[in-house]
Chains A and B, each alone.
Chain A
Amino acid sequence: MTINEKQDEIIEDFDLFDDQLDKTQYIIDLGKKLPPMPVQFQTDENLIRGCQSKVWLHSEMQGDTVHFEADSEPTAQISKGLVSLLIRILSNEKAEDIANADLYFIDRIGLSNLVTSRRAGGLASMIQQMKQFSAANSGKIQPSGQSAI
């Protein structure tokens, strides 16, 4: 599935709910399903700036695709849900596809107060870091088993 196909699928999922609270509940439930991040990746270097809650992002090349691991502090469940959406859409995609991706799902899942609030500052910096890493590694192929950083 392409990045856009995944985004469309998510938009369709959110369209099932009319109420903002139900949509938020759905995000929280997605967050609960996000596999926990290995503790060794929860470093200060991997911390995303601009969030009220702590969010870590680890990026590495696997072949010609980028693999992301991310997590938030355990109590920040909405952040965790938003993180899980980004991982679902972008992880294991080609570096140049991620660098060039237009992430329109954010505006179309109908949660304006999540997107325009300070949380979006964190979400925006997470997206920026994912894209920066991908842009820097575009066209590179990492032999399997080795980390790019």
Chain B
Amino acid sequence: MLKLKSVFYFAIQYSLFIIHYSLLLFFIAPFAFLSCYLLRDYRYFMQTATHEILDIAAIRRDFPILDQVVNGRQLVYFDNAATTQKPLPVLNALARYYEGYNANIHRGIHTLAEKATSAFEASRRAIQQFLNAAHVEEIIFTYGTTDGINLVAQTYGRRFLNEGDEIIITTMEHHSNIVPWQMLCEEKGCVLKVIPIDDNGDLILEEYENLLSERTKFVSVVHVSNAMGIINPVETIIEKAHAIGAKVLIDGAQASSHIDIDVQALDADFYVFSAHKLYGPTGMGVLYGKKDILNAMPPWRGGGEMIKEVTFEKTTYNDLPYKFEAGTPNIADVIAVYTALEYLDTLGKKNVAAYEHGLLEYATEALKSIDGLRIVGTGAQKISVVSFVMDGIHHQDTGVILDQQGIAVRTGHHCAQPLMSRFNITGTTRASFAVYNTKEEIDRLVQGLLRVKKMML
């Protein structure tokens, strides 16, 4: 009897317990979910009277590298066009991979290899969406922008360009979009033609039209100038090149973190960029190419993954995209790019661009107020890059003295020597802004430059 009673009490207690917790779950869970949702999406936003704006202080907390003292002063990092800093989620993605599922991809049948392969291929799909590419196999992983351009020059170029064919680039190209074509021209007897720029740094489109002819077989143009921040009218450039049957490569190294890219709307034949200028890791880049063109191109590097079958008599090559990915790829960094794109997506590229444009306008006005300072690249369409020279002061000295005040900028020719020659200068000082920079930091730059002037003159 006693036993039965205790079982009864236990049953009552147990059902009360269940009811209690299910009620709790029933009422609490929606709030928990809601708050997770709110926290996830709105962590980086602040509400103003009229609209939401990015909460830069919250964003800065994701970049612990920014919170340090350099040469006795709080660091101001204005070298973002060279490489952006990486947010904690990206650093964590790298650590999670190495701590949890580091394995070589594609051929492994064990669980870790499966996990790594699926994360690796998820990045490819994320990049497909990022560029709005029609097919996932149009996304080729490279080691960076330079690597992508070399791949196209060495495969498409060597297969399809011949003696006397003309390749058009611009005055403002980075050396990485000059030298691969010069090497090809030397080998194949092609001719390099250059679209000039005006004094503002804008391309002279009439001159471009004059250069186009039936001899033009390839056009390779930078989307955004690394040295000046000028945005080129790539839609028009592509349209005009296609009208005469030439193929076009767009170097998107500087554009990718600032401008929405839609390779289908642009109708670009090739588009290249690097992850490390996009809050992602170094040593990882992307080559987008139209499927039919990539299929027609011969492979470049030989080795694993890019083959179907190897005998000593003949090797057959793998399908896209693997045909161009010989050797063990940069697995960890490819996987972390997924997180970098997700991060940028959470902030919203349009919000980021709008905020950075505010910084650009503020910096342009502030720098103009310094006597003897001249901005190089004053075209209307720019990303958040300000390049400038100061009367009687060498850019290198400017860089050293700013560094001594904790301000990191880039000085020199920015790997665009022909552009420097066009402006009759040997280099500039370049401040480039990312989403975590602030107007207060720009004030520090102005103060720093006034100090430079005081010391030099």
Q: Which of A34-42, A60-68, A76-84 contacts B (4 or more CB under 8 A)?
A: A76-84
B72 contacts which chain A residues (CB < 8 A)?
Answer: 19-20
0/1 interface trace, chain B 386-429, chain A, CB 8 Å (1 if under): 00000011111100110111000001100000000000001100
Q: Which of A19, A20, A24, A75 has the most CB of B within 10 A?
A: A75
- In the complex, B451 has a CB within 8 A of chain A: yes
Contact status B397-A78, CB under 8 Å: yes
- In the complex, A52 has a CB within 8 A of chain B: yes
B404 contacts which chain A residues (CB < 8 A)?
Answer: 20-21, 24, 113
Known interface pairs A52-B412, A113-B71; A24-B400 also in contact (CB < 8 Å)? yes
B411 contacts which chain A residues (CB < 8 A)?
Answer: 52
Contact status B394-A119, CB under 8 Å: no
CB within 8 Å of B: which A62-110 residues: 73-79
- In the complex, A25 has a CB within 8 A of chain B: yes
Contact status A78-B403, CB under 8 Å: no
B426 contacts which chain A residues (CB < 8 A)?
Answer: 53
Complex Cα spacing A114 to B455, Å: 16
A77 contacts which chain B residues (CB < 8 A)?
Answer: 393-394, 397, 456
B393 contacts which chain A residues (CB < 8 A)?
Answer: 75, 77
Known interface pairs A24-B455, A52-B412; A79-B403 also in contact (CB < 8 Å)? no
B397 contacts which chain A residues (CB < 8 A)?
Answer: 28, 75-79
CB within 8 Å of A: which B364-401 residues: 392-397, 400-401
A21 contacts which chain B residues (CB < 8 A)?
Answer: 401, 404-405, 451, 455
Complex Cα spacing A113 to B400, Å: 7
How many of chain B's residues touch chain A, expressed as a range? 20 to 34
Complex Cα spacing A12 to B456, Å: 24
Contact status A75-B455, CB under 8 Å: no
- In the complex, A117 has a CB within 8 A of chain B: yes
Q: Nearest chain-A residue to B427 (Cβ)?
A: A52
Contact status A75-B400, CB under 8 Å: no
Q: Nearest chain-A residue to B411 (Cβ)?
A: A52
0/1 interface trace, chain B 235-254, chain A, CB 8 Å (1 if under): 00000000000000000000
Contact status A78-B71, CB under 8 Å: no
Complex Cα spacing A119 to B334, Å: 35
Complex Cα spacing A24 to B400, Å: 9
B400 contacts which chain A residues (CB < 8 A)?
Answer: 24, 78, 113-114, 117, 119
Contact status B455-A73, CB under 8 Å: no
Q: Chain A's nearest CB lies how many Å from the CB of B425?
A: 11
Complex Cα spacing A52 to B396, Å: 7
Complex Cα spacing A111 to B395, Å: 18
Contact status A28-B456, CB under 8 Å: yes
0/1 interface trace, chain A 106-138, chain B, CB 8 Å (1 if under): 000000011001110000000000000000000
B455 contacts which chain A residues (CB < 8 A)?
Answer: 21, 24-25, 28
Contact status A79-B396, CB under 8 Å: yes
CB within 8 Å of A: which B423-451 residues: 426-427, 451
Task: Tell which of B396, B401, B405 touches A76, judged by Cβ atoms closer than 8 Å.
Answer: B396
Q: Chain B's nearest CB lies how many Å from the CB of A129?
A: 20
A73 contacts which chain B residues (CB < 8 A)?
Answer: 394
CB within 8 Å of B: which A12-50 residues: 19-21, 24-25, 28
Q: Chain B's nearest CB lies how many Å from the CB of A114?
A: 6
Q: Which of B393, B401, B403 has the most CB of A within 10 A?
A: B401
0/1 interface trace, chain B 157-200, chain A, CB 8 Å (1 if under): 00000000000000000000000000000000000000000000
Complex Cα spacing A118 to B456, Å: 20
B405 contacts which chain A residues (CB < 8 A)?
Answer: 21
**Beyond A20-B404, A75-B392, A113-B71, 20 additional pairs, beta carbon < 8 A:** A19-B72, A20-B72, A21-B401, A21-B405, A21-B451, A24-B400, A24-B401, A24-B404, A28-B456, A52-B394, A52-B396, A75-B394, A76-B394, A78-B397, A78-B400, A79-B396, A113-B400, A113-B403, A117-B403, A119-B396
A-B pairs with beta carbons under 8 Å apart, 29 shown:
A20-B72, A21-B401, A21-B405, A21-B455, A24-B400, A24-B401, A28-B456, A52-B395, A52-B412, A53-B394, A73-B394, A74-B392, A75-B394, A75-B397, A76-B394, A76-B396, A76-B397, A77-B397, A77-B456, A78-B400, A79-B394, A79-B396, A113-B71, A113-B400, A113-B403, A114-B400, A117-B400, A117-B403, A119-B400
- Where the two chains meet, the residues of B that have a C-beta atom closer than 8 Å to any C-beta of A are 71-72, 392-397, 400-401, 403-405, 411-412, 426-427, 451, 455-456
